[in-house]
Amino acid sequence: MTAPGGTETAALDQSSARRLLKLWNEQQSAYVAHRDHRFEAMFDVLRLHSPDDLTILDLACGPGAITDRVLTAFPQATAIAVDYDPILLRVARGALDGYGPRAEVHDVDLVTDGWENVLAGRTVDAVLSSTALHWLSPAQLLHVYTAAARLLPAGGVLLNADHLRYDGSTPTLREIARRHDARVQRETFDSGALDYSAWYAEALRHPELAGLAEEREERFADRPPQALAPLEFHLAALRAAGFAEVGTVWQYLDDYVVFARR
């Protein structure tokens, strides 16, 4: 597995990393109802459209949740996972280590020009992301979609799963979605799942990760949360980026899997 090009620090052992990935999945299930269902919708697209030995690019991979699932579901697949959070990168490298050369993990900042150079001229069959690209501004999102389109061959697909919030034109749906989110979070946290901040606190108990807290803070100090772009913007941005066909393949209230074909 390829390690991020940063300073030399101790690797996180696979067992600890797999435990943190499990806790991450439980934590994310509080914020994304029916999270496994949207992954299954994404994988159905891949099964029915992509080759068995597909190569995926996992954008803003976090601790490796999508890549882990893809490499399990598709035994001939390979994955290139990228993120900019040094803590999540360290967890991903440990959690995916058992896949050997089928998994690469790279330290990549998606808001910089030329981030796609990490592929060194390789193409991929699919670009995937989950609950991550909402950190980007609309201009940055268009930049990422445009770069992704260049990486895909004709017929290649992009699948982005994320909350795309209802706006003021649908106040009833927006309120229903808000109340649903609150209920799911309450029930999931009551069952013992960590919330987002508590997950990071748990991660930092590991000395291999604790030393990365300051670097993480510095990397994201000038990146405030962004207003969530609506579905219509994503579809328009994908068309502008050069995708020939765009749409959705899954929806539950305001949670979508957006599809684009090159």
Structure tokens at 58: 């996992």
pLDDT confidence bin for 167, thresholds 50/70/90: confident
Side-chain half-sphere exposure of 181, counting CA atoms within 13 A = 15
Domains annotated on the chain, with CATH: 14-261 (3.40.50.150)
DSSP code, position 84: S
pLDDT in tens, 149-164: 999 999 999 999 999 9
8 pLDDT more than 70: no
So what's the pLDDT on residue 7?
45
- Residue 159 in 3-state DSSP? strand
Which of 20, 193, 180 has its CA nearest to residue 92?
20
Share of the chain above pLDDT 90, in %: 90
CA distances to 27, 145, 222, 228, 241 from 87, rounded to whole Å, are: 16, 25, 18, 24, 31
